[in-house]
């Protein structure tokens, strides 16, 4: 569905992403992991179309990504960033409505408002809606941003597959918000939405991911489709950390301790 062929990315002489080919099957939860500077964000930016690869091609539904107009792209994929710097006062309502900007010119339609309402309901953010965004806590602002992102790619008719990119979405959220946000993302996979997320917590990843890509020094080194493939040497190789894997049995996912 989303496919990268021989893409690479360099700034000047420095190669941030070595030649890589990778495909993302639809309606699954893909997680990208790796140490800092491994090229995770670079890969995500290329896939999301905000940076152009120095070489290679990216296809979305068999159509090259640079054949899409910015506006078309905005209706089929959305990106949640780690955090946002909002300089001016704005209500949470207006913030979520921004997700519908690609769909209306001056005044939002009834449908736009309806979708915003549904998106905030999914995120359980209704009681925050009339507040000033800048007075919210970190976890609450991320809830609002996630609502905005969901409103942007809301699949009313399940007509077309869409992509949700999450760039370290939970790095500074507490456990409750982390799980809530990832659970919602996971639910979206049932609504014809493919999730591609960068995460740092390996146990969270094991909990939600259908597939984990492990990156190191600008390359995808491992592709984990089965939780059993995560081994101590793999973790040592990628993260340079000694770990122990605990298998609780009974089909529970393994727990990794450092």
Partner 1 sequence: MNKLSFRFYYISLSILLLVSLIVSTRVGAVDISFQDIISFFGHKLGFIPDNNPNSIPQALFFQIRLPRVILCAFVGAALSVSGALMQAMFRNPIVEPGLVGTSSGAALGAAFVFVMGKTISGPFADFIGPFMLPFFAFLGGLIATLLVYRLSSVFGKTNVNTMLLAGIAVNALASGGTGFFSYIARDPQARSITFWNLGTLSGADWPAVELVGISTTAGILICLRYSKALNALLLGETEAGYLGINTEKLKMRIILINTFIVAMATSIVGVIGFIGLIVPHLLRMMKSSDNRFLIIASALLGAILLNMADMVSRVIVAPSEFPIGIITAFVGAPVFLFILIRNSRKQQQGGFYA
Asked if 87 interacts with partner 1 (CB under 8 A), we say yes
Q: Which stretch binds partner 1 (CB under 8 A): 65-73, 120-128, 206-214, 224-232?
A: 65-73
Asked if 101 interacts with partner 1 (CB under 8 A), we say yes
Q: Which stretch binds partner 1 (CB under 8 A): 112-120, 126-134, 168-176, 188-196?
A: 126-134
Q: Which stretch binds partner 1 (CB under 8 A): 58-66, 89-97, 223-231, 234-242?
A: 89-97
- Is the CB of 92 or the CB of 120 nearer to partner 1? 92
Asked if 217 interacts with partner 1 (CB under 8 A), we say no
Asked if 212 interacts with partner 1 (CB under 8 A), we say no
Half-sphere exposure of 141 (CA within 13 A, CB side): 15
Largest CA distance in the chain: 56
Q: Which stretch binds partner 1 (CB under 8 A): 31-39, 71-79, 184-192, 241-249?
A: 71-79
Out of 44, 47, 74, 195, which residue is the one contacting partner 1 (CB under 8 A)? 74
Residue 31: exposed, middle, or buried by beta-carbon count in 10 A (0-12, 13-18, 19+)? Answer: buried
Out of 15, 98, 122, 245, which residue is the one contacting partner 1 (CB under 8 A)? 98
Residue among 93, 61, 75 nearest 153 (CA):
75
DSSP assignment of 56-72:
EEEEETTEEGGGS-HHH
Instruction: For residues 144 and 140, give the distance between their C-alpha atoms in angstroms, rounded to a whole number.
Output: 6
CB of 138 to partner 1, least distance (A): 10
Half-sphere exposure of 100 (CA within 13 A, CB side): 22
CB of 164 to partner 1, least distance (A): 11
The two counts, helices (H) then strands (E), for the chain are 8, 12
Asked if 119 interacts with partner 1 (CB under 8 A), we say no
Asked if 71 interacts with partner 1 (CB under 8 A), we say yes
Asked if 91 interacts with partner 1 (CB under 8 A), we say yes
- Is the CB of 36 or the CB of 69 nearer to partner 1? 69
- Long-range CB contacts (< 8 A, 24+ apart) of 217-226? 217/37, 217/38, 217/39, 218/15, 218/16, 218/17, 218/18, 218/38, 218/39, 218/42, 219/17, 219/18, 219/20, 219/39, 220/20, 220/22, 220/43
CB of 191 to partner 1, least distance (A): 20
Asked if 14 interacts with partner 1 (CB under 8 A), we say no
Asked if 142 interacts with partner 1 (CB under 8 A), we say no
- Cα 177 to the center of its chain, rounded Å: 15
Asked if 82 interacts with partner 1 (CB under 8 A), we say no
Instruction: For residues 73 and 57, give the distance between their C-alpha atoms in angstroms, rounded to a whole number.
Output: 16
Asked if 106 interacts with partner 1 (CB under 8 A), we say yes
């Amino acid at each position: 569905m989303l496919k990268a062929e021989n893409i690479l990315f360099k700034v000047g002489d420095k190669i941030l992403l070595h030649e890589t080919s990778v495909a993302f099957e639809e309606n699954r939860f893909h997680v990208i992991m790796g140490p800092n500077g491994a090229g995770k964000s670079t890969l995500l930016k290329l896939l999301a179309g905000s940076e152009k690869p120095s070489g290679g091609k990216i296809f979305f539904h068999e159509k090259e990504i640079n054949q899409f107009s910015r506006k078309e792209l905005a209706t089929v994929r959305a990106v949640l960033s780690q955090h946002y710097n909002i300089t001016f006062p704005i209500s949470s309502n207006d913030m979520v409505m921004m997700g519908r900007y690609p769909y209306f010119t001056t005044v939002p339609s009834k449908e736009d408002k309806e979708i915003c309402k549904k998106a905030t309901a999914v995120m359980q953010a209704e009681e925050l809606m009339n507040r000033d965004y800048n007075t919210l806590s970190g976890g609450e602002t991320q809830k609002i941003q996630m609502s905005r992102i969901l409103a942007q790619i809301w699949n009313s008719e399940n007509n077309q597959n869409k992509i949700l990119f999450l760039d370290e979405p939970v790095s500074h959220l507490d456990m409750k918000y982390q799980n809530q946000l990832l659970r919602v993302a996971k639910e979206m996979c049932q609504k014809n939405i493919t999730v591609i997320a960068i995460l740092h917590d390996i146990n969270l990843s094991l909990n939600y991911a259908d597939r984990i890509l492990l990156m190191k020094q600008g390359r995808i080194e491992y592709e984990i489709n089965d939780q059993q493939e995560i081994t101590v040497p793999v973790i040592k190789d990628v993260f340079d950390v000694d770990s122990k894997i605990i298998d609780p049995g009974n089909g529970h996912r393994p727990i990794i301790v450092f």
